[in-house]
Structure 1
């Protein structure tokens, strides 16, 4: 290569690098402008006290851009688009019932990213904390606030391969007993004991302090299982159930079901199972739902979908009627305070 060719190559390289730098700067500026617009056009958020024992609140992880992003916030359930009160407590996953909160947090300032579960009282003050084995996924509190559960994604299980692996723990707040992994329970399929190295359990939803429902996966299939902490058993009831959520009266399970047809990256539809008859019915939501839905009341399901701020909350009737509707923009992990729990103890 002669001198003129080398000079020309150098000039081309400089122009290319300059174009990349300009493009990167413009993209960053565009993202910053987008966030600024979101702050101006997004929900109104202000600092304040959040009490988990106040009736009639929707409590959730605030996703609006700004200083209160990821904080637990609250609005009156009757006015979901009203101004939000942000608590100052940050959680990746959150749930509350009967004045007890469970907050799954990232631990910052360490060389290796880590996570913890923090049990909160009604004023969001820390009561206990536990190190987590992986990335937070699900969290639930029992109806009377005396037990909590959490699920994390973990690595290092040899059977997992390219698929995910989970670990689900249940904590009794009265005794301090922690069942670190529900995989230690005995699993029954078709009434017979089942043992395998590929068993995964996730997505607890409580009946009471002793009984719960969850998802069990083994052999490439998923099952709705009924758990009993006294017996340390899991008994399969129905197939193709993930991330169950028990209705306030204890008679139905909302869940995501894997269906044929859609993309393999978005295979789930929101269904409801009648626990008395084991008949299932689809909701009017036809998009893929990768969430553990919550019951706002006995008729309405709340769940998240991707949005401009990361996630928005949507509602749909549980009986298959109606149509999906946005409930709250820029929100995730909803729970509802002061909701009646009568009847849940009589769940099948």
Structure 2
């Protein structure tokens, strides 16, 4: 089944390349790294926290008592939900998105033409998304270009680039970039960030209709709460940093969280009351921190030498 899916996806990508001169975020000419074997006993069942161990670069699971087990998968970003995991992998000369099952067995892999940045899986485990940097390596200042893709793992439907979606009924601007996808519970609708014309906006998407609508400005890397009522996100500050905040969808009221350090990450909800995120420390490592979603309390360290958190419920 995996090989059939890969053949269908690669055929679709080749056909797209013939129809347009705009890149769609993939290349079928670059060799992909060899699949990593599954590790016996390590699963995505939970309870626990899926992370990328910044010391080894491996996908790992930290149990509630603080014990950590590593897989053989080396990833730049990870995420998982309902027994579906995603690993954005990098190796010399190649990048790829690898989808794994609850036992970390590879379901499919797609080559990526860009540096891995963000990854998400819908609550049901059906929809997988990713973002890569095509030009530049930071959302902060300078010139950069990103591409975001979505794969429906149930129907094998692939959208290689959200730039193919209509925005408010029109083709997106020529300089439009998209990143930071987060899915709603119905697996069809989602939110993401769009940058166009010097503005960064929250957009709401419809996967089936291939459409996007703008919601409001200054919302980056959104993450939908488990109850579907709020978005955690990072707000750009005048000094070039970001403030971790929460947006209430019913009235678009915004609340700054108690984390005052600059957070350049797509946050993740541990539950309806707690938001987790990565913060770099000295050197090339990072730690996972949490903060209450109601604006009170204070930040708390959850996992050292870790990033890219996802709650395994």
**TM more than 0.5:** yes
**TM-score normalised per structure 1:** 0.74
- 8 Å contact from structure 2 (residues 235, 242) kept in 1: yes
**Structure 1 169/195 Cα, relative in aligned 2: closer, same or farther at 3 Å?**
closer
Count the aligned residue pairs: 269
- 8 Å contact from structure 1 (residues 307, 329) kept in 2: no
Which residue of 1 is the match for residue 269 of structure 2?
295
**Structure 1 195/62 Cα, relative in aligned 2: closer, same or farther at 3 Å?**
closer
Shift of 1:193: 3.5
Where in structure 1 are there 5+ consecutive unaligned residues?
1-46, 339-348
CA distance in 2, matches of 1:106, 1:332: 16
**TM-score normalised per structure 2:** 0.83
Shift of 1:310: 0.9
Question: RMSD over aligned Cα, in angstroms?
Answer: 1.7
Shift of 1:195: 3.5
Which residue of 1 is the match for residue 58 of structure 2?
71
Q: 1:333 aligns with which of 292, 308, 311?
A: 308
Where in structure 2 are there 5+ consecutive unaligned residues?
1-38
Which residue of 2 is the match for residue 186 of structure 1?
166
Which residue of 2 is the match for residue 148 of structure 1?
128
1:52-201 paired onto structure 2 within 5 Å? 52=44, 54-64=45-55, 69-76=56-63, 78-79=64-65, 82-108=66-92, 113-155=93-135, 162-188=142-168, 193=170, 195-201=172-178
Moved over 3 A (4+): 192-195
Matched, 1:236 2:214: yes
Shift of 1:162: 4.5
CA distance in 2, matches of 1:48, 1:307: 32
Q: 1:51 aligns with which of 18, 24, 43?
A: 43
CA distance in 2, matches of 1:194, 1:285: 37
Q: 2:234 aligns with which of 234, 256, 265?
A: 256
Q: Which has the larger radius of gyration?
A: 1
- 8 Å contact from structure 1 (residues 49, 85) kept in 2: no
Identify the structure with the greater strand proportion.
Answer: 2
Shift of 1:155: 3.2
- 8 Å contact from structure 2 (residues 120, 181) kept in 1: yes
